[in-house]
Amino acid sequence: MRMRSPPEKVFEYFASFRAPNGEVFMTPADLMRAVVPVFPPSESDYVRYGSLRGERVPSDLRYTASQFFMLFDTDNDGLISFPEYIFLVTLLSIPESSFSVAFKMFDLDNNGEIDREEFRRVMALMRSHNRQGAQHRDGLRIGLKVGGSVENGGLLEYFFGKDGKSCLKHEAFVQFLRDLHDEILRLEFAHYDCKSRGTISANDFALSMVASADMRHINKFLRRVDDLNDEPQLRDIRITLEEFKNFAELRKRLQPLSWAIFSYGKVNGQLTKGDFQRAACQVCGISLTDNVVDIIFHIFDANRDGSLSLDEFVRVLQRRERDTSQPREPGFMGLLSCWLSCTTNCSSGNIFLN
């Protein structure tokens, strides 16, 4: 639904608040669910159902407070309108590696900061290259009751002041984008931490990994998640927010990780847990705990031979990043998909993990 439906349909499906005048709004948690596929927490009483396995009816939702979104919520109601939704998913489509590049695109006169008009012009261009925003350059949609254009939202006031005359500096823009991505990640973690314990179960961490898998293969992965309950050394594992964030950081560095693990696997014939941890650390600079790696291998070691099933693992992570960015054109992820499909027929440069 997220990838094929018009944005107003996605918005209406996930928005859980309706004002007396009929206008619908999202909570921050609704926005997270619209952007990130999630399953019901394993520690809740909800069950998977329907074609969008894991979605809940609005009356069953547990709202998670978000101080971040209150920063630019001018009326302090904690709600997100359709125009703001289009604005935010456009910003979320910018990968962290491109934050500075994006700012330089905005900085049309090259003075180290951007004004409101520069920002508006380049945002319109960026929306045209984002699947959700392409049809809605001003955030308006016939047939959907909305209260105004994206160009007049609270985020513009936050960036440029009430009079619109302030300028946005590079550091502030980059930090905002990082904070936005981090907040979506925090909301996802809070979704699975339904009992507010500060940790999530091994099952929920595994569910978060496979939620973006191709629907044709999702049942296979869900069976592997369920099998965690039969593994005494795995079923009682608790994953912290820091561990959750580190794995999310690894997803952002999929390109170097993919080259490393495929090259190493091609040379050595397998990729063990130690090899994988070393690749994450030495190639991507990310430390993964034994608990995280044990769960990854349980889900993605298809034949239980102690070696990671590389194609399955990379494809699932690739789909997660693609679903979040929702590009109109393939970009790097499309190239990675092509490269992935021909790895068995093409030779890769050797990357040795010492």
> What 3-state class would DSSP assign to 71?
coil
pLDDT in the model for residue 346: 39
pLDDT in the model for residue 93: 83
Q: Which of 306, 313, 311, 310 is nearest to 272 (CA)?
A: 306
Q: Which of 34, 35, 40, 39 is nearest to 13 (CA)?
A: 34
Alpha carbon distances (Å) from 115 to 65, 160, 163 = 31, 7, 12
Residues found in the chain: 354
Token pair 């619109």 is found at 164
pLDDT in the model for residue 31: 93
pLDDT < 50 stretches in the chain:
48-61, 133-142, 146-147, 327-354
Domain locations along the chain: 7-185, 198-341
pLDDT in the model for residue 347: 39
Q: Which residues contact 327 (CB under 8 A, 6 or more apart)?
A: 93, 129, 130, 131, 333
pLDDT in the model for residue 344: 37
199 bridge partner residues: 240
Prediction pTM value: 0.81
Q: Which fold has domain 7-185?
A: Recoverin; domain 1 (1.10.238)
The two structure tokens encoding residue 1: 């639904």
